[in-house]
Amino acid sequence: MSTATISEHVAQLGSHRCAYLACGPAQGPVIVFVHGWPELAHSWRHQLPAFAALGFRCIAPDMRGYGKSSTYSEHAEFSQEKIVADMLGLIDSLGLSKVLWVGHDWGSAVVWNIASHHPERCRAVASLCVPYMPGGLVLEQAIELVDRTVYPEHVYPAGQWEYMYYYQENFAKATAEFDRDLARTFKILFRSGSVNGTGQPSATAYTRINGGWFGEMTETPDLPIDDQVITEHDLAIYVEGMQDKGFFGADSWYMNHAANGEYGRRSVDGGVLTMPVLFIAGQYDYTCETINSRAKEPMLDLCKNLSQDVIKSGHWMAQEQPLEVNATLAKWLATEVADYWPKNA
């Protein structure tokens, strides 16, 4: 079997089932790729074989509440502390003490929290789109860094993060909106970035103003698929991955800001990270906007070995611009984490 063949696996972590994809030589240095909302391990389909071909062992789990991994019926089960425990349990099950972590979106929050609470388990960390702040993507901290030239406080009190408050205030409705037609939901969400949105409010800022993700519409709009991000085959995989679970678990990640903030305050070393860190910003990511806002300020102070890059992409960077993402990650690995590079590559 080719080392670039992606295979499916399951780790039973006590009562929690963690499904994951694996690719690459069994003895290669390990990179764990952690997806965000509302994705799957499949979201890393362009990265797994590319880095396997370089000699790395690549692991991508379905996160708690997604795909073939366990889900739960209580919001509190989706706190960052519990999700970090899943990831540490996963590498424990593989006999690994320290790995390199790559995250995107909520997966970024997870890898940042691993780095800030368990630095001994983290050779280095890379994040796509979401900059570092202790505790991960904690709403109160994120609001403090909103660009008020784009989001006047009297119109958008939470800036682009208005949608997070919408989950807290209308969780059942928000989840039902996504669940009523999964294929249409994913086609709406997985859109490529565009320069046209520069300096304009993100669509997420209008969620509370409009009374929902789709306003008062009782039917989910049917947009054409954006094949710059996903194919019809990918869409089918996303729909299948959410078919039985629905969006309850995925959306519950947004319901633990207080617990996640408290968890962040327990970061070791005051949240300072000394391992190599890479942050890749999306030029056209207007929700996780880091080009003109203050969103990166905490990271600049707290990350002592920081590399940064910008890719002309929207939020779904690993799927929209995989060649650029892979090249940026590989360059960083080869220059800033050179001792981790496969010895026989």
- Which domains are delineated in the chain? 7-340 (3.40.50.1820)
The per-residue pLDDT for range 106-120, each reduced to its tens digit, is: 999 999 999 999 999
The per-residue pLDDT for range 179-237, each reduced to its tens digit, is: 999 999 999 999 999 999 999 999 999 999 999 998 888 899 999 999 999 999 999 99
CA distances 12 to 15, 69, 97, 159, Å, are 7, 10, 18, 40
Single out the residue of 47, 53, 51 nearest to residue 3, CA to CA.
53
pLDDT of residue 89 exceeding 60: yes
Q: Which amino acid, residue 250?
A: A
Single out the residue of 47, 17, 54 nearest to residue 33, CA to CA.
47
Q: What pLDDT sits at residue 12?
A: 97
Strand partners of residue 307:
278
Q: What pLDDT sits at residue 216?
A: 82
Residue numbers annotated as active site: 105, 254, 315
Q: What pLDDT sits at residue 1?
A: 38
pLDDT of residue 137 exceeding 80: yes
pLDDT of residue 135 exceeding 90: no
Q: Which amino acid, residue 25?
A: P
Mean pLDDT of the chain: 96
